[in-house]
Structure 1
Amino acid sequence: MSRLSPTSSGSLSGSLANLNFRYLREDKPHGSAGGLYIFRDYIMEDSPSHIVLLNCDVCSSFPLPDMLEAHKKYGGMGTLLVNKVSAESANQFGELVADPETNELLHYTEKPETFVSDLINCGVYIFTPNIFSAIEDVLKQKKDRANLRRVSSFEALHSATKALPPDFVRLDQDILSPRAGKKELYTYQTLDFWEQIKTPGMSLRCSGLYLSRFRRTSPHLLASGDGKRTATIVGDVYIHPSAKVHPTSKIGPNVSISANARVGAGARLINCIILDGVEIMENAVVIHSIVGWKSSIGKWSRVQGEGDQNAKLGITILGEAVDVEDEVVIVNSIVLPNKTLNVSVQEEIIL
């Protein structure tokens, strides 16, 4: 559940027009499970039979219907979406061991120093409302331990700098790890794509994964063109119906162009995300970049990154309403909103 304001509510448009949503904000950090617990009354308002919990920094096809069906068959308190990764990268995630027959979660450890398993937690969960009882048990245990322990004032001051607050409950260490192997938690392995978004460059990779999925599941959403009546399209490209793209431009692969964007004659776009209201003028080039809302890129200008998805400055990002004037080159840089660039920059963060 997103945490933007304590009481905001609203509705979505389009195919989700009938879905109501609410943004909730913690008064202080309570942990990944503790934050869920303090909003339990909101979550349980309509007495849901199941609760879907998604980490915000993951990209996936999110096979929730199949996962829910499996969860109901398991009959446990919770089901985790899991994925297999290379042994070299597994320790960057929560590693787990599952029963190959029943898919029960047998062991869970968060980012271990030594290799445990190539099966990792994807940060996508389905729980029954019993998750709140499990969190409440942890809170009670923490309170009991605090009441039993007697320390000197010096020890208390020293430990206070290290210990977590008593109402801070972590989903992984406090719920998943201790309840593994107790027939309460199960796993569902995805065979489709999954990525964790830890750098700006990963946003472009994830955009490409979704576009590739559109090719298989919704090809009508992708653009096509041979440069005669419409722009030349290479690979997977999405162009919003309200965007205006000149037929002499060349777009793709892995490009997403949002609403009311304008792409001028001779422009070249590769591996980029163009957000609402952007104007890309004649013969401009955008490669390995994200261009923010209402920004403009001048004639013969070049906005590009190296395309290193794991580097902090592996791509270029322009914030909202950034104006790049004519014949300016921006390479591997991050530009905050409402800036005008009339000189070329490389590997800079412009505040």
Structure 2
Amino acid sequence: MMGSSEEKVVAVIMVGGPTKGTRFRPLSFNIPKPLFPLAGQPMVHHPISACKRIPNLAQIYLIGFYEEREFALFVSSISNELKVPVRYLKEEKPHGSAGGLYNFRDLIMEDSPSHIFLLNCDVCCSFPLPDMLEAHRRYGGMGTILVIKVPPESANQFGELVADPVTNELLHYTEKPETFVSDHINCGVYVFTPDVFAAIQGVSTQRKDRANLRRVSSFEALQLPNRSLPTDFVRLDQDILSPLAGKKQLYTYETMDFWEQIKTPGMSLRCSALYLAQFRFTSPHILATGDGIKSATITGDVYIHPSAKVHPTAKIGPNVSISANARIGAGVRLVNCIILDDVEIKENAVVIHAIVGWKSMIGRWSRVQAEGDYNAKLGVTILGESVSVEDEVVVINSIVLPNKTLNLSVQEEIIL
């Protein structure tokens, strides 16, 4: 049963849509969250390029609610770059994480794959997909879930699970429990056999049967726990993972590497750092070196887009990502920040623990900085698109919405 050349694998990446992602404002105002750059590459590029390492990969599908035109350019360029067909599939209405997969089952099964990977786009990790597939084949179940051990106090923000320490069988699964269950959590990365479609269909059929049986009065209908769930809305965690735990169908594969969920702009800065550090091992040529007489001083992991202009007296790093057509002036100091397209940073300005939005300008001797607490609401300073910070202005622990001009210093403020 080991990977014969006929066995094909497909990958599905859930990219969500405008209904979600509100926590990612102001950065999600003018770009779909999955296309926001981390370490110089769109967020969704990282799981896609990880899928490229899966043997016998036939197709990659992106499923979401965004308009197709928002992804058209990205999808065609990444398909060319990686030489793997990538297709965007738009959901007309929410079907839940498992229902969305089921909704496109005919397309997904077009290549008769033996295995289907399912990944969430807002996850940052090293995506050990080939190793996961190998473990999944050994287990012989319907699905394998990537899991990681986290500090017990933060586990309840995620799906907690208990697995057999010897066989790795999933024994118990609960989504965001109120009492502590386990310090092992679901990473939002899965591999399934096509049997998963029958399991999802089973949930829908059960719901329909229940609905038909009941024909209850409207008062009773209001009391029913699943009253708001349409029959074709199926959640992977509550409807598939929890009921199938302990039935020798689902197994776990633990990653010892990094893992984070990208919910807020602050977290995207943390994840950019993790990916830059990973590039050191996977693609060191992407990182800036600072060699040569005319180049800036670089410390740590730094990405600079080839079209960006950086003055040789600038000091950059660690964890800095500079996007297309940015202009970085003389004596500028950049630490732990993401500088987006077409930003201008003038002489001797300092940017620390911050994200500077597209087409923004930071004046001479100005400072844009924060404490660098990725989980705090104002722990990272964020400038939206086209924000101007005038000369000698200090912006600390603040969020500034697009198209604002700051001529006075601000601290701990959200500027609407």
TM-score (norm 1): 0.92
Offset of 1:266 from its aligned partner? 0.5
Q: Deviations over 1:208-240 (max 9, x none)?
A: 111222233333332233896421222222222
**15-24 or 170-179, which deviates more:** 15-24
Q: Partner of 1:185 in structure 2?
A: 250
Alignment match, 1:215 = 280
Q: 1:16 to 1:65 in 2, by over 3 A?
A: farther
Give the partner amino acid of 2:343. Answer: V
Is the 1:32–1:171 contact (alpha carbons within 8 Å) kept by the matching residues of 2?
yes
CA distance in 2, matches of 1:138, 1:350: 46
Matched, 1:321 2:383: no
Shift of 1:51: 1.8
Structure 2: give runs of 5+ residues left out of the alignment.
Answer: 1-13, 16-63
Distance 1:121 1:160 in 2: 24
Match of 1:331 in 2: 396
Please tell me the residue identity of whatever aligns with 1:141: Q
Q: Is the 8 A contact 1:227 1:249 kept in 2?
A: no
Q: In terms of mean alpha carbon deviation, does 255-264 or 15-24 score higher?
A: 15-24
SS of 1:272 mapped into structure 2: strand
Q: Name the counterpart of 1:120.
A: 185
14-23 vs 49-58, which moves further: 14-23
Q: From 95, 118, 132, give the equivalent of 2:197.
A: 132
Following the alignment from structure 1 to structure 2, what is the Cα–Cα distance between the partners of residues 47 and 343? 62
Distance in 2, matches of 1:344 and 1:227, equals 37
Partner of 2:86: 21
Tell me which amino acid in the other structure corresponds to 2:67.
Answer: S
Rounded to whole Å, the distance in 1 between the matches of 2:343 and 2:162 is 47
* Structure 2 counterpart of 1:5: 67
Output the amino acid matched with 2:177: P
Partner Cα distance (1:161, 1:216) in 2? 47
Cα distance, 1:152 vs structure 2: 2.1
Candidates 44, 47, 71, aligned match of 2:109: 44
Please name the residue that 2:333 is paired with.
Answer: 268
Query: 3-state SS of the aligned residue for 1:23?
Result: strand
CA apart distance, 1:88? 1.9
Q: RMSD in angstroms over aligned alpha carbons?
A: 2.3
* Aligned residue pairs, count: 351
Residue 88 of structure 1 corresponds to 153
- Structure 2 counterpart of 1:32: 97
Q: Which residue number in structure 1 is paired with residue 415 of structure 2?
A: 350
CA distance in structure 1 between the partners assigned to 2:400 and 2:114 by the alignment: 45
The answer (yes or no) to whether the contact 2:79–2:86 under 8 Å persists in 1 is no
Match of 2:237, SS state, is: helix
Deviation (angstroms), 1:271? 0.6
Q: 1:257 aligns to what?
A: 322
SS of 1:24's partner is strand
How big is each residue's C-alpha offset from its partner over 1:308-334, in whole Å with a ceiling of 9 and x where there is no partner? 111112111122232222222222222
Query: Closer, same or farther in 2 for the Cα pair 1:6/1:252, shift >3 Å?
Result: closer
Q: How far is the alpha carbon of 1:117 from its aligned partner?
A: 1.6
Residue 330 of structure 1 contacts residue 345 of structure 1 at CA under 8 Å; is this kept in 2?
yes
TM-score (norm 2): 0.78
- Cα distance in 1 between the residues matched to 2:281 and 2:89: 36
The residue type equivalent to 1:195 in the other structure is E
Cα distance change on mapping 1:179 and 1:190 into 2, 3 Å: same
Identity of aligned residues (%): 77
Gap change, CA 1:240 and 1:37, over 3 Å in 2? same
Preserved contact between residue 205 and residue 231 of structure 2 (Cα < 8 Å):
no
- Unaligned runs of at least 5 residues, structure 1: none
